[in-house]
Structure 1
Amino acid sequence: MMVWLWALIGILALVVIALLVKIHMLQKAAEEIGESFADRLQTDTNTLIHISSRDRHMRRLARAVNVQLRRLRAQRRRFQQGDTELKNAVTNISHDLRTPLTAICGYLDLLEQEEKSEAAAQYLCIIRNRTDMLNHLTEELFQYSVILAAREDEAREEVVVNHLLEESIAAFYGVLLAHGITPHIRIPEEKVVRVLDSSALSRVFANLLSNAVKYSNGDLEIVLSETGEIAFSNSAARLDSVQVGRLFDRFYTVESARNSTGLGLSIARHLTEQMGGTIGARYEDGRLSVLVTLPDA
């Protein structure tokens, strides 16, 4: 009786050991699939996932992951190709428009020097305004294409964010006052220093101030914290949460925002992320807030 009992215990022990070995091999195979999948997503390679396990279920899982990986790569290639084509199209269109616009502006200058009736002068003024608007939009498209083509390793330097923000506000102060906006500014006395591209950060501030001109109901609050966060907030009754959620989408324009390509905030987001920071917007109780967080020094 004891012999049979020990034999049964031995068999059970062997079964348990075999199961533990099997579980270990399955865990190893699952880890291989997970690590390989993460590596394939981060690197631009056509290599598929291979595992050392002979278990048919894990190999079937690896084949299924490879199928999805191929589809993901195909979609990524289509996206990259489409994105490249769009950037090239924007560059070409903006460049092609600049030449005839320059000629139009030149002929308008000549026409303004000629004798003309009051009605003709009025029509010419309208044409001049529309031409200047088109010239501005074309230039913004061209700058957008240039910014997208810029490398992420542009020259960086120590920037005193306090001073740069003050200079940006001063440059826009006349425009803000002309639109009935008196900004309330809170900037700490202690210097907030970051290693950044100063021209890129200046462009971000300019675009956010321009955004305030478009949507503000007459107020603007600008706050710089000692941790490197800059908040631009203003009342914006013409907006809603859905529109605010799309403000950073390129070419998206709110109907109430005239003379806009919908690229200003998209450029601001691209430049901020290129410098390692983040930017976002929220809408609460009729108030639009845009928060820029700069990377640590």
Structure 2
Amino acid sequence: MATKWKNTTEKIKTGFHKERTQKILGSIFGIFGILVLGVLIKYQVYYITTTSMMIGVVGNISLCAGLCFLSEPYLRWKYEKIAEEDYETWQQKRKGSYRNLYIAGIIGAVLSMFYMWGIMNFYNLYWGHNYSAGYVMMLTVLIQFIIAQILLKKFWARRLDQMMARMEEMNQKRIAEALEIEKKSLEKVSRSDQLRVDLITNVSHDLKTPLTSMVGYLELIKKEELSEMVRDYVEVISARAEKLGEMINSLFNLAKASSGNVEFHKENFEMNRLLEQIFADMQDRIKESGLTFVKQYIKESTALFSDNTYYYRICQNLIENTLKYAAKGTRVFVKTSIVGAQGETAENPQAATEITSETEKDRTGEMTKRKICVEITNTSAYPMNFEADEIVERFARGDKNRSSEGNGLGLAIVSTYAKALGGEFDIKIDCDQFKACLICGDL
């Protein structure tokens, strides 16, 4: 602290000595120049043209030196706090200084012309025709005006740089403050999200224990001799309990995936074969749905190195979503393709081969990962009066009347898992056509 104060004191002393030296030198040169030109004005009749011009040169040089030394202290004193003000105030004061300079220049020009007129009409009546002193005065006014204008321009250029530097410093400070506020806001949101995820996880976990007991007792009740009516009630309760269990498991998995605490087990598998396995496991439900699934698998390899279990769950959720919301008696198209480096999708085997080779390097020559695209397109049984972004939110359902089996978590789980696996999930809606697009890549 003492060193900093000492350095500041030294800078103040240095600046004070420099300014005082400028004032002294400026005053000496200025007074000398005025005296030289005053001598020329008073005794101009005694000097020939050459002598008058030489005296004028000496006087102008001295005045220019004085002006150079005195202009900076004077302008700094008059506009001392200009760098701390805004640009509009700076501009007004700048214009005012130039206006004052022009007024002074006009006054000097008028006085020099008046002096020239006096020489032509009075002195020459007695001393002959010698206008050199008048010319010297007119040139002096012009030269000093030009020098003063240059010095003023340089002064305002320096002040502008200072003001811009101050504004830049203020902007940097504001940006830093804004970033700090944004950081705190993100941390707050992150903590809020984490608390929400923890709450859902804990609630889901706490619900599992009583639900498991309920399901166990329901199974015991089913083994007892019951009337048909009571048995029907028990079956309804059992079905609802099973659905509640599925919802709790889905909610638990969604919370776990959202928190990022997911452990992946990478392995090699084929996407086409994975889809066929899902269709085989869901064969009974597909037959009961009344839907016709049209499979359009790409003939090229759809090998991936990722988590087979999570991709199974993602694709299973997409097919289950189709079974719940697709119009009965319609066709569902399941298509796989290879996505190129720039996002192109192959529509035929030949194009797939070309894109597969192009995925090795993109147009910039950098290595890119090969991605598989899975598209499931169906005709909706319900009016799709929602946006694509809304339907992937938690508990968002296409069936606003909630008459279907869905719980609003299926697509949310798909979207969350896809991001966790480094893939992408998108939805496209065209009239009654609902298309789910899943882009899969290696982990």
Which is helix-richer, 1 or 2?
A: 2
SS in 1 for 2:190: helix
Q: Measured at CA, do residues 244 and 213 of structure 1 come closer, stay the same or move farther in structure 2, by a change above 3 Å?
A: farther
Q: Match for residue 44 of structure 1? A: none
- Counterpart contact for 1:279–1:291, Cα < 8 Å: yes
Q: Map 1:241-260; keep pairs closer than 5 Å.
A: 241-254=385-398, 255=400, 256=402, 258-260=404-406
Q: Match for residue 214 of structure 1? A: 324
2:383 pairs with 1:271:
no
Aligned partners of 1:151 and 1:122: how far apart in 2?
Answer: 42
Aligned partners of 1:13 and 1:56: how far apart in 2?
Answer: 20
Offset of residue 68 of structure 1: 2.2
Unaligned runs of 5+ in 1: 27-54
Q: Match for residue 186 of structure 1? A: 296
Offset of residue 3 of structure 1: 8.2
TM-score, scaled relative to structure 1: 0.77
Offset of residue 264 of structure 1: 1.6
Aligned partners of 2:305 and 2:149: how far apart in 1?
Answer: 69
Please identify runs of 4+ aligned residues in structure 1 that moved more than 4 A: 1-19, 149-153
- Counterpart contact for 2:314–2:414, Cα < 8 Å: yes
- Counterpart contact for 1:214–1:257, Cα < 8 Å: no
Aligned residues: 267
2:62 pairs with 1:62:
no
Offset of residue 14 of structure 1: 6.6
Unaligned runs of 5+ in 2: 1-138, 340-371
Aligned partners of 1:122 and 1:195: how far apart in 2?
Answer: 47
Q: Match for residue 32 of structure 1? A: none
Offset of residue 260 of structure 1: 3.3
- Indicate the percent of aligned positions where both proteins have the same amino acid: 22
Aligned partners of 1:283 and 1:241: how far apart in 2?
Answer: 10
Answer with 1 or 2: which has the greater Rg: 2
2:379 pairs with 1:235:
yes
TM-score, scaled relative to structure 2: 0.54
Q: Map 1:104-253; keep pairs closer than 5 Å.
A: 104-151=214-261, 154-218=264-328, 219-227=331-339, 228-253=372-397
Offset of residue 231 of structure 1: 0.7
Offset of residue 206 of structure 1: 0.8
Offset of residue 210 of structure 1: 1.0
- Counterpart contact for 1:137–1:260, Cα < 8 Å: no
Q: Measured at CA, do residues 5 and 265 of structure 1 come closer, stay the same or move farther in structure 2, by a change above 3 Å?
A: same
Name the structure, 1 or 2, with higher relative contact order (CA <8 Å, separation 6+). 1
Q: Map 1:17-28; keep pairs closer than 5 Å.
A: 22=161
Aligned partners of 2:156 and 2:192: how far apart in 1?
Answer: 55
Q: Measured at CA, do residues 281 and 112 of structure 1 come closer, stay the same or move farther in structure 2, by a change above 3 Å?
A: same
Residue in structure 2 matching 1:87, options 197, 206, 215: 197
Residue in structure 2 matching 1:284, options 430, 434, 438: 430
- Counterpart contact for 2:427–2:436, Cα < 8 Å: yes
2:406 pairs with 1:294:
no
Aligned partners of 1:241 and 1:296: how far apart in 2?
Answer: 35
Aligned partners of 1:149 and 1:64: how far apart in 2?
Answer: 33
SS in 1 for 2:414: helix
The RMSD of aligned alpha carbons is 3.0
Aligned partners of 1:83 and 1:180: how far apart in 2?
Answer: 41
- Counterpart contact for 1:241–1:283, Cα < 8 Å: no
- Counterpart contact for 1:235–1:288, Cα < 8 Å: yes
Offset of residue 287 of structure 1: 0.6
Aligned partners of 2:336 and 2:307: how far apart in 1?
Answer: 18
